[in-house]
Structure 1
Amino acid sequence: MYRETVEIYSDRTNAVVLRHPGRKFPGVLVQGELLYALFRQADEVCAAGRQALAEDAYEALTELRDGLLAYLDHYKTVLGEHDIPVPFREPDAS
């Protein structure tokens, strides 16, 4: 971990807009619990859409879900490396 000064353009809840040094454009900070909720929603829609959607639409939806999952997995890994608990409870795998 290191500390760096960032430019904060908006600190609205769940919609922080900031620019990291060295980046041309600002980004949006997505809190972990919101990231998890977005992934869960995409995962549920994927499961429901498997039979209902055209193949190309289902593939696009799956890519969206998988992209959110990649961010979520990275988030959980980084928190684990720093002994920080995740801010959500995942359902049991059973």
Structure 2
Amino acid sequence: MRTEIVEIFSDQTNAAIMRHPGRAFPGVLVQGDSLHALCHRADLACEQLSRKSPGYEELNELRNALWSYLNHYKATLQAHGIALPFSENRSF
């Protein structure tokens, strides 16, 4: 872990906008519990569509991208000894 100064453009809850040093554009900070909920909502949306439905492939790619971010988040917190802000057993 390292500490650096970031530019914070908005502190809005669950939608903080900040620019990481060395980046040209700001990004949105999504809290881990919110990301976890988005992953499960994407799972539910995919479950409700047939694999042959128009748009399913794009939705599944979105779901996989969200889960990739969440898996990286979980691994990073684990590596630093930080508890997850959500229950892995929670059903949506």
Structure-1-length-normalised TM-score: 0.91
Higher share of residues assigned helix: 1
Q: Aligned letter for 1:14?
A: N
Other-structure match for 2:35: 35
CA contact (8 A) 2:51 2:57 kept: no
Q: Please, which runs of 5 or more residues in structure 1 have no aligned partner?
A: none
Give, in angstroms, the shift of residue 91 of structure 1. Answer: 2.3
Q: Aligned letter for 2:85?
A: P
Percent identity, aligned pairs only, is: 52
After superposition, the C-alpha distances for 1:38-73 in whole angstroms (9 at most, x for unaligned) are 00000111011125722xx11101000000000000
Q: Please, which runs of 5 or more residues in structure 2 have no aligned partner?
A: none
Other-structure match for 1:77: 75
Q: Secondary structure at the match of 1:76?
A: helix
CA RMSD between the two structures: 1.4
Runs of at least 4 residues off by over 2 Å:
50-54
Other-structure match for 2:11: 11
Q: How many Å separate the matches in 1 of 2:60 and 2:50?
A: 9
Other-structure match for 1:66: 64
The number of equivalent residue pairs is: 90
Give, in angstroms, the shift of residue 90 of structure 1. Answer: 1.7
Change (3 A) 1:3 1:46: same
Q: How many Å separate the matches in 2 of 1:68 and 1:33?
A: 12
Q: Aligned letter for 1:73?
A: N
Q: Tell which deviates more after alignment, 44-53 or 81-90.
A: 44-53
